[in-house]
Structure 1
Amino acid sequence: MDLRALRYFVETVRHNSFTLAAEHLCVTQSTVSKMLRQLEDELGQPLLLRDGRQLRLTDAGRVVFERGQQALGLMRELGRELDDLTTLARGELTVGLPPMVNLLFPPVVKAFREQHPEVSLNLRESGGQVIEQQVASGELETGVTVLPADPALGLATLGVGSHPVLVVGPREAAWTRASRLDLAELAGEPLVLPPDDFSLTRQVRDAFRAIRAEPLIVAQSGQWDFLVAMAAAGLGTTLIPAPLLARLQPDEALAVRALAEPAISWKVALIHAPGRYLSHAARAWLAVCEAVLAPSPDGLNSADNSNATETAP
C-alpha cells in the first residue's frame, strides 16, 4: 500500500474536504482525488461516499482511516528514532500550542533556544482539542493543552501551572457590589467568553450547570485581549486566567475580582502519548518547560510576571 496515498486519504477524512486536504498537503485537488482512486482500486472497494458537500466513510473506509492513522503514526515514530541515531546533536521539533496559552511560553522558547540552539523549533498553533488528537495519533510528539484533557485519548499529562480565573468587567456591573463573589452573582449577567471548544468555557458552563443556571453569553472570541477590550467597552463580563490578565495590563476602569465559589482554575499541562518513542528534542523541550514553568516557592510560576498580583488582584 502506498503510504502517500494513505496519508492523502487520512487528511481528506480529517478535513472532510478534498480542497482543504489539498491545501494542507500543498498539492492540487486533482492529485488528492487521483491518489484516493488508486487506493480504492488497490483495495478493491470504495472508501468514501459523497453526500452533497459532505464525505461519508464506508465501512471499509472507517477501518482504513483508523488503521491508517496508526500506520502513519508508527512511520513518523520510526523516522524520529532513526534521526536520533544519526543526528544526536541536531534535529527539529514541532510542538502544538493553543493560541490562548501562548502568552506563557516566550520564556520557555527563549530558554530552549539558549540551551538547544541546534534544534529547529516549530510552534504549531491549534485549539487544545485538536492538539490532543494530533498527539494521540502520532502526528505530534508533544503539545500543550488546558486540563481536563480528553480521557478517551489516554494521554500522559504533566501539569506546569494552575492559575485562578478572575472575573473582569465594567465597574458599574451589579456583581461588583457583592461582598463575596459567587458564580450565582453572574447569573443573568452578559458574559463575553472564549469559544465553546476552549476548556475555560466548558468549565464555566459546567459550573453554571451545577448551580442550575445558564450563562448569558453575548459574544465569544479566541483572543484574550479582545475579550478584555469588550469588557472595557461595557459589552459584558469576562473570565480571564490571572497570569494572562497581568500581561494584558487591563484598563483601570475595569473591576477585577476573584471568584469565591466555585473557584475555577486554569490548569496548563504538557501532553504526550505514553509508550510512544520521544525524540531527544521532545524530551529536551519537556524538561525545559518543566524547569521554566515550575511553581516557585511563592506559588507563582517562574515565568509569571512579577506584577501579576498587583495587576490582577
Structure 2
Amino acid sequence: MHIIPFVYAMLNVIALRYFVETVRLSSFTAAAQSLGVSQSTVSKMVKNLEDQMGEQLIIRNGKPLLLSDTGRVLYEKGATVIDALLHLEKEVHEIQALRKGRVHIGIPPMINLLFTDVMKHFREQYPNIALHIQEQPGPAIEQLVAKDELDVGFSIAPIDQYLPVVGQAVASYPVYAIFTPELLPRSKSGLSLAQVAKKPLLLLNDDFGLTRLLRQRFAKEQLQPRIYAQSSQWDWLISMAQAGLGVALLPEPFCQRLPETLTYRLIEESEPLFWQVVLLWNGRYLSQAARAWLECCQDLLGGTWLEAEESEL
C-alpha cells in the first residue's frame, strides 16, 4: 500500500469538502448543485484529492458510490474536520466583527475610578466581548504586560525602562497637598516641595507610581521629607489628613472627593509635577477587542490612545 505522510501531503481543504459532499449526497451532480459549482469542478477536485492521497477514494463503477478503505476513513473523519473548520471560520469572523472575544486589562487601584464610565460605554457597545480586569499595583502590571499575560495595562510614570513594553502617557494630572487649615493656611497660591517636606506627610505605599515619582523629586531637590504614614488606600490617607495627622499628597481627581473640612493646594515647581497615567502594551500585537477598548477610552477620556510608540517615561 502506498502511504504518503500527512506532514508531507497536507490535505486540500476545498477538495476534502467537495469529496465529503459528493459522498454525503452519493452524486457528483447533486454535490455540484449543493456547492454552487460545476460537476466538472467537483470531479476535478476529488481527482486531485485522490492523486494527493496516492490511491482511489471513490469507486465509480456503480450506484450508490462505493468507497475504498481510505475513502471511508477520509469521509468519516473528513466530515468532522470540515465542521470544525466551518465553526472556526465563523468564530474568526465574529471576532473580526467584534461580536465575540475577550480582552485582559491591568488597572492599578488608584486608576480604576477613571475607567468606570469607559467600562459602561464598552459594555454597551460590545456586549459579547468579555472584559477581564486585574487590579494590581503599577509595577506588577508592567511585568504582566512584558510577559504577554495582559493585552494592555496601565501604570503611573516613571515606568521601568528596562522592560520590553511600549508606553504612552494618555492622561496627566497635577499633584495637590491635602490638609486641614490647622496645618497650612488656606490660599490660592501653590506650595513647593520644600514647604510640604517640612510637614508630616501621608503617602501611598512605595509600589505606587506617585510615591516613586515623589521620592525621585525629593532626592533631586536634596530634601528629607517627614513621612508620617503610608497606605495602599487613598481614602485612608484622606481620613488621616482629615484627622489632622499630616498632609496627603494626591493627584487632582481625588481632590473632587474631599470632605469640606479639608483644603488643598497645588504643588508648584519649576519642573512641573504630574501624575501621568501610562498605557502599556507589548508592542507586537493588539487584538481587535483591545483596540475597541482603547477606542472607548479615547472617546470618553480624550487624548490619543492608539498611536503608542516607544518612550522613556
Q: TM-score, normalization: structure 1?
A: 0.63
Corresponding residue of 2:219: 209
Structure 2: distance between partners of 1:195 and 1:220 = 5
Shift of 1:92: 1.7
Residue by residue over 1:131-171, the C-alpha shift from the partner in whole angstroms, topping out at 9 and shown as x without a partner, is: 01001101111111112211111321232211111110111
Report which stretch shifted further, 215-224 or 154-163: 154-163
Structure 2: distance between partners of 1:229 and 1:194 = 13
Shift of 1:253: 1.8
Match of 1:104 among 103, 106, 114: 114
SS at match of 1:231: helix
SS at match of 1:151: coil
Structure 1: distance between partners of 2:259 and 2:89 = 52
Shift of 1:278: 2.1
2:92 is the alignment partner of 1:85? yes
2:240 is the alignment partner of 1:233? no
Structure 1: distance between partners of 2:137 and 2:208 = 7
Corresponding residue of 2:268: 260
Give RMSD over aligned pairs.
Answer: 2.3
Structure 1: distance between partners of 2:91 and 2:274 = 38
Q: Gaps (5+ residues) in structure 1?
A: 1-80, 297-313
| Contact persistence 1:84–1:280 (CA under 8 A) | no
Structure 2: distance between partners of 1:192 and 1:82 = 56
2:298 is the alignment partner of 1:278? no
Structure 1: distance between partners of 2:123 and 2:216 = 39
Match of 1:123 among 124, 133, 149: 133
SS at match of 1:99: coil
SS at match of 2:264: strand
Match of 2:174 among 159, 164, 167: 164
Match of 2:228 among 210, 218, 231: 218
Shift of 1:271: 0.9
Percent identity over the alignment is: 41
* Aligned CA distance change for structure 1 residues 163 and 126 (closer, same or farther; 3 Å): same
Shift of 1:180: 4.8
| Contact persistence 2:105–2:134 (CA under 8 A) | yes
Q: Gaps (5+ residues) in structure 2?
A: 1-87, 305-313
| Contact persistence 1:84–1:279 (CA under 8 A) | no
Q: Paired residues, what number?
A: 213
Residue by residue over 1:203-237, the C-alpha shift from the partner in whole angstroms, topping out at 9 and shown as x without a partner, is: 11111112211111111111111111110011110
* Aligned CA distance change for structure 1 residues 180 and 157 (closer, same or farther; 3 Å): closer
Structure 2: distance between partners of 1:130 and 1:145 = 9
**Residue identity opposite 2:278 in structure 1:** A
SS at match of 1:159: strand
Structure 2: distance between partners of 1:136 and 1:151 = 11
Q: TM-score, normalization: structure 2?
A: 0.63
